[in-house]
């Protein structure tokens, strides 16, 4: 298999901030392609964890858990816009986080 920088290969671990229904669908779609998943979600019954994602049942602001997620994953994304933007900013300095914190801050402060 040809390696392409910046492209995840099968066997890569994708981290998700949030383990709800969208994360569950991503895990279900990604497993057949060979991807592994780890979710950080304070809900002990996080839907993504029920379909095979490793689960860190911690707060979105828990720096130890965020650090563990960055160490274990090749890429991290967030499932929804209600995660802590400061935590995302901290993480994007340590792991590939394509959405970044600026887009999250924009989504959190949109006009209603």
Closest CA to 42 of 87, 101, 8, 6: 87
Q: Is residue 84 part of a domain?
A: yes
What lies within 8 Å, CB to CB, of 2 at 6+ separation is: none
Mean pLDDT along residues 18-38:
98
| The predicted structure's pLDDT at residue 1 | 46
Q: Is residue 100 part of a domain?
A: yes
What lies within 8 Å, CB to CB, of 44 at 6+ separation is: 57
Q: Which tens digits make up the pLDDT trace of 51-110?
A: 999 999 999 999 999 999 999 999 999 998 889 999 999 999 999 999 889 989 888 886
Q: Is residue 23 part of a domain?
A: yes
Residue 34 sits in which domain range?
13-108
Query: Dihedral, CA atoms, 36, 7, 85, 15, nearest 10 degrees?
Result: 10
CA dist 71 and 73 (Å) reads: 6
Q: Is residue 77 part of a domain?
A: yes
The structural domain count of the chain equals: 1
Q: Is residue 6 part of a domain?
A: no
Beta-strand runs (E) in 26-112:
36-40, 54-56, 75-78
Query: Dihedral, CA atoms, 26, 27, 28, 33, nearest 10 degrees?
Result: 100
* Model pTM above 0.75: yes
Please give the order of strands across the beta sheet that includes 13-17: 54-56, 36-40, 13-17, 75-78
Q: Is residue 69 part of a domain?
A: yes
């Amino acid at each position: 298999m040809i390696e392409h920088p910046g492209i995840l290969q099968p066997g890569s671990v994708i981290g998700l901030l949030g383990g709800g229904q969208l994360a569950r669908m991503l895990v279900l779609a990604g497993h057949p392609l060979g991807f592994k998943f780890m979710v950080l979600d304070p809900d002990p019954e996080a839907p993504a964890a029920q379909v095979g994602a490793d689960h860190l049942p911690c707060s979105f602001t828990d720096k130890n858990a965020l650090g563990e997620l960055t160490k274990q994953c090749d890429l991290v994304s967030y499932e929804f816009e209600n995660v802590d933007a400061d935590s995302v900013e901290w993480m994007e300095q340590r792991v590939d986080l394509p959405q970044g914190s600026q887009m999250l801050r924009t989504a959190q402060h949109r006009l209603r």
